[in-house]
Structure 1
C-alpha cells in the first residue's frame, strides 16, 4: 500500500512549528509495511486542501491527514474532504456528549464552534480521541483510504497508535512489516564506506542498504519487509555478515549509539579508566565522553592544555620540547606521546589520550590547518601516536579530531579485550 501524508496548517508553512507529526507517522506506517512516498504541507485554505487531495489520490492508496480538526473556522480538513467527496458532515454523538460533559463539569459555557470537534464525514469510522476532543475519521471512498488525525502531537500519537492502526489493519490486510537494523561505523567517511560496499549496494533488493553520514561517524540502515521478526533477523544477519567481512574493522555498534558510548561500554566491561589531555580540541573529547550517562565510572577526568605554559605546568612537559630552536614543538608526534603518558600517570588511569594540532583558521608553528596528532598511552607500553590530516571548518576539524581519537581508542580496546 502506498501512502501520502498531508499536514494541514498555515503555521507549518510559516515555520512557526516543526512538522514532527510527519516524522512520527512515516515511522509508524513503515513499521506496518505501508510505504510513504510523499509528504505534503498545505495551509488552512479549502481550495488548496482540495488540490492536495486531488494530487495525493493520483499517487497514493492511503492519504493520512494531520491537523485541521479543531473548533475554529480555519480548521477545514473535514469540511474540505467532505466537499471533495460530496459527502455530508454528520455528528458523532458520543463525541458530542463527551464535549458537552466536559464543558458542563467545568462550569464553562460551550460556544457553538466547539461542536465542530464532533463532526464526522458520513460513512467514516470514528477514531476515538483519548487526549483531546476532536474525533478522528477513517474512511474508504472510491478505492482510496483516508485517515484524519488531529494536529497536536499529544492527541495525534495516541489516536494513530491505537484506533488509527486498528483501522489501518482492517483496510490494509495482512501486510509485511518493516524491520530495520542500524550499523554504526567510525574511522571511515561516507563516500569511502559506500565505495567499499558498492557491489552490495548495487545488488541490493531485500534487505536494502542505506548509508547516512554524521560528522566523524557513518550509519547504515538495513531494512527488510517480513511477516515475522525471526524471518527478518535471518535476512538482516546475512547482509550484516557480508558487510562485516568487508568493513568490519570500522563497525563499532549494531545499534544507533555514538562512538563515545561504545568506548565507555568497552572500558566498563574491562574495568579500565580513561583520562585525556587536549590542546586543539579544547576539551571537546571530554565533553563527548561525559555526555554518555554514567561515564564517571570510566572517565576520571581531563585537562585542556591549550598553551605551551599549561602543557608545562599541568603535564610537566619540558619547555625545551615545546619551544626553541630545534624543539619538536607543541604540534608534534613526540609532544602528543608525552601528553598522553603524563595525563595517564598523573590521574592514575589505564589509558591516557591526547590531541594536539591545528584546528585553524590559520597555520601554527608552520604546520598546516588540519594536522592533528593523537596519542594513546597505557601502562607498560610506549605511547602510540597517530597523525591525521583533516579538512573542513574549525568546528568540523575539532569534532573530527575528537572522533578520530575515540576511534583509535576503540580499536585499542577491541584488540585488547
Structure 2
C-alpha cells in the first residue's frame, strides 16, 4: 500500500493570534489539498518571531510530507519569514531577476514609484525554487528538506490562492504518487447529528473500505461528506452515487440538496421548477429572510418583495393584521404570524407568503413568552401552516436560526404540495 501523503499548514502573523484577522487561508488550503489526495494533519498559527517560526518548522518537517506556510513576506520590518528561512536553510539571499521584473512591472502598471524595500523583495534564498507571484510583489519560495516539500507564500489570500493554483498544486501532483479522491456532499436539515447517526448507522457500518463519511454540523442541520479514495482506477463516481442513493432512501424528508448548495439556493430551485413567486413579512428577523433569498443569482424571477413589520402599526396598516388579533393574542402568536403571511401574499400578489414574529432577545421576554419564543408561518392558496420555535440563544443566533427554519418550512410545504 502506498504511503499516505500528509501536510501541515503554518500561518504566520501576530494579527492572527490577536484575532484581528481571521485565518481563511488554512480552510481554503485544506480543501484544495484534500481534492488532490493530500491530507492535512495539523494547522499551526505562530507569531512573527524568528524562534517561533524555526521551532514550528522543525516540528512540521518531522511529521509532514508537505509544509505550506503563509504570511510574513511583506516589505515591512515585521515581515520576518524570508530572512528566517534563509538562516534556517543555511543559505544567503540573491537577486532573482525574473521576480524583480515582475515587481517592476506591477509598479509600472499602476504608475507608482518603486521603493528600495520593494526591490529587496526580489532577493530570495539561493537554495529555494522561486514561486512566481503574478498578483503581488512578494514571490513564494519552495524548499526541500529531509524528503519534505516546504512552500512559503504571502498571507494575502488572493495572491496565495493564485500561487497554489498555478504552481504549488501541479508541482505536488507531479512530485508525489497521489490517490484519486472524490467528495460527495449531502445536505440535511431538521435532524440533529445524534439522531441522524442512529438513523443511518447500518448504512454507515456497511460503507466500502475506500469510502469514508464525515459529519459536519451547522446551525440548521448536518452536511454529510462522503470521500472516496481510489488507487487502482475503480469507478469512484459510480460507487459514491450508489451510496448516496441508499442514503437518500433512508432520510428523504431531511435532504435539501446535494453538493455545496445553501438552503436559500435550494429553495430558489424549487420555486423556479414550480414557477412560483414568494414574498416575506418579517418582524424579529428584520429582513434577513429576504436577504438570504435575494442573495441567490436569478432570485428576481421568484422573489417579489418584503415587508419588515417591526411594529404593530405596520402589521396592521401594511399586512392587514387586525387590532383584535394583536390585542387578544399578541404580536408573537400563531394567529398573528398566519395573518402576516396571508397579508403579505395578498399585498404583493405572490403565490407564497412567509412570516416571522418573535422575541429575539436579549430582553422583551415574559413568563408566558420567554426570549427565544418565535412563530413562523407559510401561506399559499391551499394552506396556511404555522410553527412555534423555542430557541433561547443569543439574539443573533435566534435570528439566524429562525431564518433557516422558515426557509425549511417553505421546503417542507412545497414537498407536501407535490406529494398531494
Bin of the TM-score, shorter chain as denominator length: 0.7 to 0.9
So what's the TM-score if we normalise by structure 1?
Answer: 0.82
- The reply on whether 1:119 has 2:124 as its aligned counterpart is yes
- The reply on whether 1:140 has 2:141 as its aligned counterpart is no
The SS at the match of 1:384 is strand
Cα distance between partner residues in 1 of 2:306 and 2:21: 40
- The reply on whether 1:219 has 2:220 as its aligned counterpart is no
- The reply on whether 1:89 has 2:107 as its aligned counterpart is no
The SS at the match of 1:58 is helix
1:209-240 C-alpha deviation (Å, 9 max, x unpaired) = 22333333432332233469983322322332
Quote the residue 2:294 is aligned against.
Answer: 290
The SS at the match of 2:276 is coil
The SS at the match of 2:173 is helix
User: CA distance change for structure 1 residues 351 and 58 in 2, over 3 Å: closer, same or farther?
Assistant: same
Quote the residue 2:393 is aligned against.
Answer: 392
The SS at the match of 2:51 is helix
Give 1:37 shift.
0.9
1:127-175 C-alpha deviation (Å, 9 max, x unpaired) = 3333345443333333222223344444433322223233323321x30
- The reply on whether 1:160 has 2:161 as its aligned counterpart is no
The SS at the match of 1:170 is helix
Quote the residue 2:416 is aligned against.
Answer: 415
- The reply on whether 1:98 has 2:101 as its aligned counterpart is yes
User: CA distance change for structure 1 residues 242 and 90 in 2, over 3 Å: closer, same or farther?
Assistant: same
Cα distance between partner residues in 1 of 2:330 and 2:376: 15
The SS at the match of 1:33 is coil
Structure 1 runs of 4+ aligned residues shifted over 6 Å read 103-110
Q: 1:236 aligns with which of 213, 224, 240?
A: 240
Structure 2: unaligned runs, 5 residues or longer: none
The SS at the match of 2:64 is coil
Give 1:249 shift.
0.6
1:162-212 C-alpha deviation (Å, 9 max, x unpaired) = 23233323321x301432233222223444434434455566654332233
Quote the residue 1:248 is aligned against.
Answer: 252
1:36-94 C-alpha deviation (Å, 9 max, x unpaired) = 111223334333322112211221122223334456665544544454444x3363654
Quote the residue 1:21 is aligned against.
Answer: 25
User: CA distance change for structure 1 residues 403 and 139 in 2, over 3 Å: closer, same or farther?
Assistant: closer
Is the 1:331–1:365 Cα contact (8 Å) retained in structure 2? Answer: no
The SS at the match of 1:416 is helix
Q: CA RMSD in A?
A: 3.6
Give 1:382 shift.
4.3
Give 1:273 shift.
1.5
